[in-house]
Every structure is written in structure tokens, then in C-alpha cells.
Amino acid sequence: MVTDKIKQLKATQEKVAELEKSIAAQLARELSQLPAKYGFTSVQEFIKAVKSTGGTRRRGAATAGRKAGGKRRKRAVITADTKAQVKSLTQSGKTGAEIAKATGISLPSVQNIKKELGLVKARKK
């Protein structure tokens, strides 16, 4: 019983290894055809053209909290005064986004403060 399962496992591992090799070969073929597909005569020309596009990258966590200038945003300090501001703005009917903009803190921080102060309704299950 167990030996049969071990044999199945080994066979499956061999299939995975074959698939990995097949994928790597196919990927290499497709990548080598990219320059010609876009009208370039050499890989070097293609790479130069790609680099000349500016190479701007956007990645989730890597750019989180950054302004347009590329610098990280200064971390907001949540004080009792900030919490009081959030409370009064919430009670005056402002949205979370409006409160965040007015107080200079992030929307998640506003939500956390509202939750801490008991200003949000509990979700129904």
C-alpha cells in the first residue's frame, strides 16, 4: 500500500521534472523569437529599445507609500488630537477619504481610529 503510493509519488515527480524541462525549452524558444517578432535584427537592438522606453516599474509593496518624486512618505504620528479630529469629522458626516485628506493620515489609519473609538458598526455575519 505505502510502497504503491511511493511509486506513484516518484512517477509524478518524474512527470513534473519533464514538464519543467519542457516549459524551460519552450520559454527559451519564445524569448529567442521576441526580437524578430517586433522587427529587430538582433537581441542587442531589442534590449536597447526596451531600455530606452524608460524602464518604469510599478510593484505593489515596493512603491507603497511613495509620492510622485519617488521618496517614501513620512510616517504620520497619531496623537490624541488627531483622534479627536477624526471623531469630530466623522460625527459631522465626512467620508473616510475626506477625513484622511484633512488630517494628513492614510485612509486605513482613519478606519483604525474609527474602529478604536467605536464609531463604526459591527459587520453582520
Q: In the numeric block, which cell numbers belong to residue 118?
A: 467605536
Against a cut of 0.75, is the pTM above it?
A: no
Which of these, 113, 109, 106, lies nearest to 67 by C-alpha position? 106
List the chain domain ranges. Answer: 2-52, 80-116
Tens of pLDDT, residue by residue over 45-96, are 888 888 888 766 665 555 555 555 667 777 888 899 999 999 999 999 999 9
Q: In the numeric block, which cell numbers belong to residue 29?
A: 524558444
